[in-house]
Amino acid sequence: MPGPRVPGPRVPGPRVPGPRVPGPRERASRARRVARLGVFACIAVIAAATLRPLPAPPAPALAADPLPMFCLACSDLGGVDAMLNVLLFIPLGAAVAAATGRWGAALGVPIALSLAIEALQLTAITGRDASALDLLTNSIGGVIGAGLVMYRRTLLTPAPRTAHVLSLAAVAAAVAVMASTAALLRPSIPRMGLWGQWMPQRLAFEPYSGTVHDFRIDNILVPYQLVPESERLRQELLDGTTAAHVDFTSGAQPQRLAVIARVGSSVQEVLMIGAWRDALVFRTRLAAKDWGLRTPMIALPGALADSGVRMTADAGVRNQRWYATTKGASGVVARDVPFSVALGWTFFLPFDHPLSDADRWYSALWLAALAFPAAYWGARASRRGDAWIWSGTWWSLAVVMLAAALGLVPHLAHFAPAAGSEWLGLLTGSVGGGWAALRVTPRDFAAHSA
């Protein structure tokens, strides 16, 4: 019978290495390498967007004087161009700051690149106009991008007291955007002689092959020449209630925007009824145009018949709503679109875009983007130790102020109340901002601070 087993000394087996975890310095080095690749990618995208020659303009525009180099707001869509320039250079400033960690490089690279681009546009690139506005806005974009990276700790993990200030500033900015949107939707028409044009084959429009028989605005006949009652027509349009009527024979459906009838001058469009495929489109001049921004236009899909059909179209503004109606052989098609403080995104589009029913979700997304930072910093300001109080003063206050603005600003502007989709967008941004505040911690930046 064997005796009891006596355990001997333990002999360690071969050590199996586990997965290697990179240290903070290695992670920081890897992040900088990625950022350097981002710098080259940003420069390539900017070069492709700004140094590509543009086709020659149509013949009537060849006689126009080039834009002055040092004019800050000369082009028809100067405000849109400025915003796009800022957005284009934000990633570059951010990438340079992440790659170098130095303010000098983060500011110098975007400015130097912008100077090089403007010099090439001035001397060598066909169809491009160099301007001081481009240089200024490009530089601003680079500064913003660099600031977002250099102050990322303060912005994403602020102390409660700092978060208080940031949350209130974000609420104020969101309210200012809503109020500015309402103000920019007001009619605005410079004092000038108004000319009628029917289906013009000039400017940037595609020709329309139909025939206009009668064109009136607020019962004032608009001939294909200077309108004799231009000042009276201007005052009627400034009243905020507009009724345009055009009797025409339909033409072939154009693949891009074509004018059926318009009134304005050679450089200013005041009112336009047009065609886009099978849709009738309509827009009027608003205060947004004074700032070089794009004015919204509405579309009436399926309103235009095939070529050769006699039709009438009525379009205008009443009770702070755009409306359009067509009558033809196939019956009546009608639609109206209310003015909204959530239409701010339409001012900055780089292309014509008729508003459709689906665009209400873009408006909801716009409001969500406005609410997100205020709710994020409001939730950060509600922090007490390691606890987050969702019913805390600052998060709740931010959401309440945003909701009050969405209810009050349309009322003061005499707009229709905010739609359900807009309230949903505001709620989504508020909840999303609070949720994101719970997820971000100072540890997330350890790799970049090594």
DSSP code per residue over 326-353:
EEETTEEEEEEEE--TT-GGGGG-SS--
Identity (one letter) of the amino acid at 378?
G
Residue 118 and residue 219 in one domain: no
| Model pLDDT, residue 390 | 46
Within a domain: residue 36?
Answer: yes
DSSP characters over 360-414:
HHHHHHHHHHHHHHHHHHHHHHTEETTEE-TT-HHHHHHHHHHHHHHHHHHHHTT
| Domain encompassing residue 437 | 159-185+352-450
Within a domain: residue 15?
Answer: no
Residue 203 and residue 323 in one domain: yes
pLDDT band, residue 63 (cuts 50/70/90): very low
Residue 166 and residue 215 in one domain: no
Within a domain: residue 116?
Answer: yes
Identity (one letter) of the amino acid at 267?
V
Burial 225-237 (b: 16+ CB within 10 A, else e): eebeebeebbebb
Residue 129 and residue 264 in one domain: no
Please tell me the distance from the alpha carbon of residue 155 to that of residue 239, in angstroms, as a whole number: 45
| Model pLDDT, residue 388 | 45
Within a domain: residue 190?
Answer: no
Burial 370-382 (b: 16+ CB within 10 A, else e): bbbbbbbbbbbbb
Residue 387 forms beta bridges with which residues? 384
Please tell me the distance from the alpha carbon of residue 309 to that of residue 30, in angstroms, as a whole number: 66
Residue 303 and residue 359 in one domain: no
Please tell me the distance from the alpha carbon of residue 433 to that of residue 368, in angstroms, as a whole number: 9
pTM of the model: 0.84
Residue 95 and residue 228 in one domain: no
Q: Strand, helix or coil at 321?
A: strand
The pairing of beta strand 383-384 with beta strand 387-388: antiparallel
- Lowest-pLDDT range of 34-38, 120-124, 190-194, 356-360: 120-124
387-395: long-range contacts (C-beta < 8 A, 24 or more apart)? Answer: 388/437, 388/438, 390/434, 394/163, 394/164, 394/167, 395/434
Within a domain: residue 3?
Answer: no
Q: What is the pLDDT of residues 316-371, one digit of tens each?
A: 999 999 999 999 877 899 999 999 999 999 999 999 999 988 899 999 999 999 99
236 to each of 55, 214, 218, 318, how far by Cα in Å?
39, 19, 7, 12
Residue 317 and residue 268 in one domain: yes
Residue 331 and residue 199 in one domain: yes
Domain count, the chain: 3
| Model pLDDT, residue 405 | 97
| Model pLDDT, residue 328 | 86
35-49, 132-146, 404-418: which has the highest mean pLDDT?
Answer: 404-418
Residue 29 and residue 124 in one domain: yes
Q: Which helix (H) or strand (E) holds 69?
A: none
In contact, 257 and 200? CB cutoff 8 Å: no
Within a domain: residue 2?
Answer: no
Please tell me the distance from the alpha carbon of residue 317 to that of residue 338, in angstroms, as a whole number: 9
Residue 234 and residue 278 in one domain: yes
Which of residues 306, 338, 370 is at a domain's end? 338
